Amino acid sequence: MNISIKAALLCSAFAVASPAFAAGMHPVTGEALADNQTYTYRMLDDVKSFDPQINTDVEGSHILRDLFEGLVNSDPQGNSVPGAAESWEVSEDGLTYTFKLRDAKWSNGDPVTAGDFVYAWRRLADPATASEYAWYMELMGVENATKIVAGEMAPDTLGATAIDDKTLEVKIDAPRPYFPGMLTHASTFPVNQKVLEAHGNDWTKPGNLVGNGAYVLTDYVSGVKVTRERNPMYWDNDNTILETVVALVINDENIALTRYDAGEVDKTEVPAGQYPALKEKLPDETYSTPRSCSYIYMFNLGENGPEALKDVRVRKAMSYALNRDVIVDNILKGGQYPSYNWTHQKTAGFEMPAIDYATWSQDERVAKAKELLAEAGYGEGGKPLELTLNYNTSEAHKKIAIAASQMWKQNLGVNVTLANFEWKVHLDKLRSGDFGMARYAWCGDYNEPSTYTDLFTTTSGHNNGKYTNPKYDELAKAAKTSDNPAEEYKQMEQLLADDMPIVPVYQYTNVIMVKPDLKGFPFEDLMNNIYSRTMYKVAE
Amino acid sequence: MLGFVLRRIAMAVPVILILIIFSFVLMRAAPGGPFTKERALPPVVLENINAKYGLDDPFLVQIGTYLKNILFHFDFGPSFVYQDRTVNQIIADGFPVTLTYGFWTFVFAVLVGGALGIVAALKQNTWIDYLAVGFSIGAQALPNFIMAPILVLVFTLWLGWLPGGGWWGGPNDPNSYTSYLVMPVIALATSYLASIARLTRSSMLEVMNSNFIRTARAKGLPDRTIILRHTLKPALIPVISYLGPAFVGMITGSVVVDMFLSTGGIGKDFVQAALNRDYSVIMGITILVGMLTILFNLVVDVLYAWIDPRIRY
């Protein structure tokens, strides 16, 4: 059965079959449910904020998805499905979206209105809020967002209007077929103006916080745990199965694994390098699923960058000489994808171009690399080539960098000095262009290739290596309005392979342990948007 | 004596002031800032944030405002990273936890370490002595970042006696208050305990070989009186000078205990704040630790006078 059809059936089945699981049975699958519907998972760090417009963390977003609900949700497969909006329409020019809100209530009983969304979105863009994610409003292209963030226009000029309590109209500056998918992002979640005004800065404290999600925040012990419990006011409460969701802060991944073994947590991350052993020991609990992030070494093509790297032959030689299979199979060992391009290969709407060196054998790549380097006048018989590779403190980054420098040394005779910096120093050096080569990684904000490809346009704030190609910029622009942007993305990736401003290294997977009695975890969602209400525990 | 205490307190004021200014300057000198992230913020967004937190003011104005808020309002400002919380709240949440397990660590380390040291000294060069010395050397060689995972493995996974970390969450918590204390206390106390045992032993031995003890023995005093009344007090002097700063170390927390055992104390907040460049939190905890250090050094000095009659202020 097609996955999305199955999902649709599942949804409709949910709608008819109501609280059948009072009898301890799952309403759709008929599985026997466990008596204790508490899901406990490991969280790496303390929550930075429970405020949707302030939070910047992935782990914080998991919690916000339970406490609040945006216009659009994603299902366990990662498809966009209606959330607070029952349905939506888009105008013919693709610039106006009209969202019809369903009858839903805040956890204090207030109705959820279009005005709540308008309030939250203005708040996100408002310079007075000083949200770090204000740029997301710009990324979505909501009318006037850029000027509001810059303080040139008032927040109430934002292109989001409440036509009536249940109708929200959003105007965007260019057609974006993936726009609804962007609304699963936590920064677009509504907040209750009355509650914010009543409690001020303390509005996110348990007891004060009012949300429209399937769960309410009941307990927060800083640095220890976050507890949320079923919200009886939630519109689809009848279909919520998990009663309590607990996030335990466990910093060390090995201790987290011990506590998983002891049965204290139902889900944790697999410590680096332990995936093969755990997969063998516990095949039904160990998972490696694609995750939308891409790991690269960036070349500095800017004015401070080394002269040699301005030669595309040198850049290609460096990329070809890197044996990704060794890095993925012998260092990371978590099913990661060896990478020859930039965009995560599982991204929706992405078609991989025929990148030549991806199909070669490693011997062929090395032979070609030697040839190119010699042509450029470096390496054996030519000028010696000395480069520096910056990376931030982490055991895995270090191992990969050491392996890479060995490969460059052995295959090409290039001496790469490794420079390890603390995270903030590393970023500072990246931003100021003070590097030769640097480790870099990017995680997609939404499931569409432009979240990756936009990075290497000339004007991108993340293009620290100062790559510039007018053709690339043109394609990026064309993709925004194209009917079939897959073609543009393909060409852009081809340009990246031709110009090689980066060395693609690998693409991420999510390597996790999940107890076999926990069902409904969104393994198939590339964006890893977790909603506790889709999960349940079966009786063992 | 009172004059001495007052003088010391008066001296503490400029010390704290210098500490604040130094930390402030050094912290700002570190590359990057609280809002330097993987995701570069557009310049306008960064400007808005800097304006909100006053980071766009001239440097001297920033220090001035900071000092003013501390002196007049005892307000350490908002956290730059934990934006829902202020520094005062972060310290109010974390410090009681650290103080609790730090205090019990102190009690445990002093009692066990002291007893080990005394017994070893009294039974010098017997198997008891060797066992005690061997144990304390072993304990000192075992760092707490090794201890913590071993404790979790043994007490949580194998024996199933204790929760693998966390902190007591109130009467509804299924686990007891003590169950959360055991592992942090053992993990943190081990190396302190070893130091205390070795210090006590060597200082006991030194005192026991001194002239006034020989005199006491010559007078025919029973061993009991010699040890309790004449040896113990002078033998404690080096131990106490060690305990002052050690106590501050224990109650201001251990990043290892907080990280590995998820206790939620300020030890982790401190280190994370430094890595995150969470300026206000680094400052707040630095000042707290600074004040406590000054306070306990003073307590130690007062204790000296009480224990050692030769010391006069």
Quick check: A448 pLDDT over 50? yes
Q: How confident is the model at residue A328 (pLDDT cuts 50, 70, 90)?
A: very high
Mean pLDDT of A198-212: 95
Instruction: Judge whether A384 and A378 are in contact, CB under 8 Å.
Output: yes
Q: Which residue in the set B157, B260, B264 is minimally distant from A222, CB to CB?
A: B264
Token code pair at residue A480: 């925004």
Chain B interface disruption, residue of A259, A394, A428, most B CBs within 10 A:
A259
CB-CB under 8 Å, A132 with B49: yes
Q: How confident is the model at residue B313 (pLDDT cuts 50, 70, 90)?
A: low
Mean pLDDT of B33-51: 85
**Alpha carbon distances (Å) from B211 to B216, B218, B231:** 9, 10, 11
Dihedral of CA B233/B238/B241/B242: which sign? negative
Tell me, yes or no, if B82 comes closer than 8 A to chain A by beta carbon. Answer: yes
Tell me the C-alpha distance between A35 and B177, whole Å: 27
Model's pTM, two decimal places? 0.88
Q: Does the interface predicted TM-score (ipTM) exceed 0.85?
A: yes
Helix axes B59-73, B2-29, angle to 10 degrees: 140
Residues from chain B that touch A252, judged by Cβ atoms under 8 A, are: 148-149, 259-260
Q: Which pLDDT score, from 0 to 100, does residue B42 have?
A: 85
> Largest Cα–Cα distance in chain B?
85
Tell me the C-alpha distance between A282 and A48, whole Å: 33
Task: Tell me the per-residue pLDDT of A368-399, one tens digit each, with 9 for 90 and over.
Answer: 999 999 999 997 778 899 999 999 999 899 99
Mean pLDDT of A476-498: 92
Task: Tell me the per-residue pLDDT of A254-304, one tens digit each, with 9 for 90 and over.
Answer: 999 999 999 999 999 999 889 999 999 999 999 999 999 999 999 999 999
Q: How confident is the model at residue A535 (pLDDT cuts 50, 70, 90)?
A: very high
Q: Which of A13-27, A313-327, A474-488, A510-524 has the lowest mean pLDDT?
A: A13-27
Q: Which pLDDT score, from 0 to 100, does residue B244 have?
A: 86
Tell me the C-alpha distance between A13 and A27, whole Å: 8
Instruction: Judge whether A479 and A490 are in contact, CB under 8 Å.
Output: no
Chain A interface disruption, residue of B38, B173, B177, B281, most A CBs within 10 A:
B38
Buried b (16+ CB within 10 A) or exposed e, A301-319: bbeebbebbebbbbbbbbb
Q: Amino acid identity of A429?
A: K
Residue of B nearest to A137 (CA): B45
User: Count of H helices and E strands in chain A?
Assistant: 18, 19
Residue A254 C-alpha, separation from nearest chain B C-alpha, in angstroms: 8
Token code pair at residue B103: 């205090």
Q: Which pLDDT score, from 0 to 100, does residue A2 have?
A: 42
Q: Which pLDDT score, from 0 to 100, does residue B303 have?
A: 84
Task: Tell me the per-residue pLDDT of B135-182, one tens digit each, with 9 for 90 and over.
Answer: 888 888 888 888 999 999 999 999 999 999 999 888 888 889 999 999
Q: Which residue in the set A134, A219, A259 is minimally distant from B45, CB to CB?
A: A134
CB-CB under 8 Å, B262 with A48: no
Tell me, yes or no, if B166 comes closer than 8 A to chain A by beta carbon. Answer: yes
The β-bridge partners of A101 are A85
Backbone phi and psi for residue A226, each to the nearest 5 degrees, phi listed first: -130, 125
Task: Tell me the per-residue pLDDT of A120-129, one tens digit each, with 9 for 90 and over.
Answer: 999 999 999 9
CB-CB under 8 Å, B260 with A251: yes
What radius of gyration, in Å, describes the C-alpha atoms of chain A?
25
Residue A57 C-alpha, separation from nearest chain B C-alpha, in angstroms: 11
Quick check: A95 pLDDT over 80? yes
CB-CB under 8 Å, A50 with B84: yes
Mean pLDDT of A528-532: 93
Residue of B nearest to A260 (CA): B157
Task: Tell me the per-residue pLDDT of A7-47, one tens digit each, with 9 for 90 and over.
Answer: 444 444 444 444 444 458 888 888 999 999 999 999 999 99
Residues from chain B that touch A54, judged by Cβ atoms under 8 A, are: 83-84
Q: Which pLDDT score, from 0 to 100, does residue A23 have?
A: 53
Residue of A nearest to B276 (CA): A424
Q: Which pLDDT score, from 0 to 100, does residue A43 have?
A: 94
**Alpha carbon distances (Å) from A450 to A287, A353, A457, B69, B70:** 28, 15, 11, 46, 47
Tell me the C-alpha distance between A286 and A267, whole Å: 10
CB-CB under 8 Å, A54 with B31: no
Quick check: A5 pLDDT over 60? no
Residues from chain B that touch A132, judged by Cβ atoms under 8 A, are: 35, 37, 41, 45, 49
